[in-house]
Amino acid sequence: MSATTEPNVGTFTLAGPLTAAATAPAEVPEHREWPLPNGFAWVFPGEGNEGLRRPVIMADGFNLGRSRLDVLYHGLEGGAFPFVSELRRRGRDVILLGFEERSASILDNARAAESAIMRAIAERTGYAPLTVGGFSMGGIVTRYALARMEMQRIDHQTGLYFSYDSPHCGASVPVGVQAFSHFIPVANDFARQMDSPAARQMLWRHYDKETGKTGTAPERLQFLDALDRVGSWPRIPRTIGVANGRGDGTGLPEVVPGEVVLRIDGIYPGTAFYTQAQGDDVTVAYLNRRFPQAERTVTTDGFPELDGAPGGTLHTYTILADAITRLGGTVDLRHGEVCFVPSVSAVALRDIARQDDLYANIAGLDPEQSGLDDFLCSSTTTAHTAVTEELCAWLIDRLPD
């Protein structure tokens, strides 16, 4: 380490349960692989099926780098509910869709989804409709792909579209955390992840490393325009979605707005992060480094209380604290998890800009306000994209015949 630079704490990225490193080697059964434009897929036939008969395409979510479908498989199988095995037991052919670069533009990765759909149709025996969807970003990629195919009058033969905790109305990474990724004085994976095309498209508000300001990224506006041009949603299949957050307006009571959530000493001495509060000129982080010496106060204007909102959670501050600790720093971690995809975003009901909408009791809202035909919120707060029996069983019961 140079005497004029801080240690690199950027070897980590933010990831949900399905894309975090597997705790044990995934026992992946025999499968075929499809090469695709901008991606690839692993194909697992349903029990008793010769060839494809009832395809279910499930797209990977957001992270940095090439999809690791072994890790995705482990995430789908190694938790409380063996999702892939249950689908295959019911005669469904599972197609896991991965991307060459998960942080690339959603518009580019949609090409992989379109190609997977067309190959599934070409190899399918019989006329059973496809099921197409994905986890987190994967649900947005497949939503756009199906809508674009319909606009181009391509017969996607899909009977059901699903999303699993996908940020239809945007996702949230604390602004102070985004700013810190660029405050690290060396190139790092975390900064590349936060500044990637997909992050700029999905984050409700994005920290600009050049200006130090926070706002809607131009890439998000361009993506939303592109989505509007293809009709916003696929119209032919039934559309459903699930949220890992609760739907009764109950968020994370332990996350109190405006309080310190993480303090760092030793490395980046005195650096502190605060939970998001309402108001203008709200401090969300104080950043300090020794080499090269710099300090910065990061503020927001007009934000709702995002960190404690009802939604699928991400262990954002735990990941950051662990990275600092590995380098010998001292951390005071108050809350490891914050909201990543608000429930109202996952079920496409409301914009997340307003406090009342963000904390709305979804059960009391007109379901026709959603872009989805049907949806389910978790009965308890769960981690973003966490596979639970409650959510998966609900999805399986709605698969087309």
pLDDT at 51: 87
User: Residue 4 pLDDT more than 90?
Assistant: no
Contact 143, 234 (CB under 8 A): yes
- The residue type found at 51 is G
Range 32-169+219-250+362-397 classified under CATH 3.40.50.1820: yes
Average pLDDT score over the chain: 93
Per-residue pLDDT tens for 243-275?
Answer: 999 999 999 999 999 999 999 998 899 999 999
Global pTM value: 0.95
Stretch 23-28: mean pLDDT:
68
Q: Using alpha carbons only, what angle is made at residue 342 by residues 336 and 348, rounded to the nearest 5 degrees? A: 160
pLDDT at 2 over 50: no
Query: For the segment 82-97, what is each residue's pLDDT rounded down to a tens digit?
Result: 999 999 999 999 999 9
Question: pLDDT, tens digit, for every residue of 325-336?
Answer: 988 889 999 999
Per-domain boundaries in the chain: 32-169+219-250+362-397, 175-214+253-341
- Which of 16-30, 223-237, 246-260, 303-317 shows the lowest per-residue confidence on average (mean pLDDT)? 16-30
Mean pLDDT within 338-347: 98
- pLDDT bin (cut points 50, 70, 90) of residue 12 is confident
Per-residue model confidence as pLDDT tens digits over 195-222:
999 999 999 999 999 999 999 999 999 9
